[in-house]
Amino acid sequence: MTETRASDPIHWTACQAVDALAVGEVSPQELVAAAFERIEAVDGAVNALPTLCRERAEAMAQEAASRAPLFGLPVAVKDLNEVAGVRCTFGSPIYADYVPDASDVTVEMLEARGGLTIAKSNTPEFGAGANTFNEVFGVTRNPWNTDLTCGGSSGGSAVALATGQAWLATGSDLGGSLRTPASFCQVVGLRPAPGTVPRSSPSQPFGTLAVEGPMGRTVEDVALMLDAMAGQHPRDPISKPPTAPSFRRAAQDGRAPRRVGYSPDLGILPVDRRVRDVTAAGARLFETLGAVVEETSPDFTGAPDCFQTLRAAGYVAGHRRHYAEQRDKLKPDVIWNIEKGMALTADDIAAAEIARAELLTRCWAFFESYDLLCCPAAIVPPFPVEQRYVDAVDGHRFDNYVDWLAICSAITLTGLPSICVPCGVTEDGLPVGLQLVGPPHGEAHLLGMAKRFEEATGLRGRTPIDPVSNG
């Protein structure tokens, strides 16, 4: 049965827009015009897309229209990704005036497959932190309540999707940078397994903590974008061919899980009661799909410290030159992370690598018995935008800007694909996302199970929304 499509293109899903593009019912130029009309109407309230590139998009529209699978669909690109001829700041004053000559691998793949870059989405400096603000463009606000944060670091992308300024957007994820804003804005974000989406990483080309991934309004939209992003690229040594002929088809045809493990906290950190209530109810929806749901998970003991060590070592590799030459332009959180890395010993790093390997073994054993692991995607609902990070939950204090993200960063260590799907809202109307973790190399299976969950929640299609101010 054909799905009913709204008259205004900003309310279309990405899949509806692509299907219309593919048969000539609408042109890329028309969708570019619709996107920029929406940007003009709402972005002043949220500051999601501070850098626009309309002339570039219009110049490339005719050629993009012939390229599958996106056929000229406008997309937003995170300001950590280089787009040829478009200002790229990385959210840092160091790069406030930087304009690259060439696009990075992620953008090159997207545009070769019909994506049309219309804007750069805001991000914290170098993607550090789960509240999207920086000294170049300022703060990005949550459209559900503009007094609150949208999360980060892919906050601009999540807000652009939620408000209808773009149909798809790129995200990147180290410790939750893609999943946290998806939870805070009621959109969908997929963190693929390392190597699924090729990326540019000059300082750590063999790294497996940071990945690029798709963000959209629905699970099938995200699957469509993964079709446009996944694949092997000569400039990414760990990239590999996609594990499915079509991730979109896998999402459409996927089955519900038979056995699901749910954990409210992975056994490693406190979780706000409101989030516990909503995610527990969400996990139980799998029972309506015929699954057995049990409160269990692999043992994640030690995962937060392990991640902190490996993250800090990576920050030295990625930012030692910035620290040495322009330390005064870095925000305190980035400086802290670099200095933490500089203080590590060889024993510290070796112990973290061993702990990670042991965690992987426990997770592989878990997925011999379970199809899916569920847990919150964020331990709190959206918080005040002026607050840099979550410093306490239920009396437990976090002493840095990273610790509260352990519900996501622990999953990062496993290398397993994970997706944040809207789960419900708190009693005061704030979005909550459920993080679904799939088996090794299991993006196709995960997308199918996530789509079944999305159908069970009835939350599909609740965006785009007009920004709401409580001031």
Q: Which residues are catalytic?
A: 78, 153, 177
Judge residue 302's burial from the number of C-beta atoms within 10 Å of its C-beta, 0-12 exposed, 13-18 middle, 19 or more buried: middle
CA separation for the pair 301, 359 (Å, rounded): 9
What are the residues facing 424 on neighbouring strands?
A: 432
CA separation for the pair 179, 192 (Å, rounded): 11
Task: Please give the single-letter amino acid code of residue 245.
Answer: P
Note the maximum CA span of the chain: 61
Distance, C-alpha 1 to centroid of its chain? 31
H or E element, residue 81: none
User: 10 Å Cβ neighbour count for 387?
Assistant: 11
The first and second tokens of residue 285, run together, are 């929806």
Q: For residue 262, which of 443, 436, 450 has the smallest C-alpha distance?
A: 436
Q: Is residue 416 within 8 Å of 363, Cβ to Cβ?
A: yes
C-alpha torsion angle, residues 125, 127, 129, 134 (rounded to 10)? 30
The first and second tokens of residue 9, run together, are 């293109």
Alpha carbon of 116 to those of 71, 186, 223, 466: distances in Å?
Answer: 9, 24, 17, 24
The first and second tokens of residue 6, run together, are 């709204």
Task: Quote the radius of gyration of the chain (alpha carbons, Å).
Answer: 20
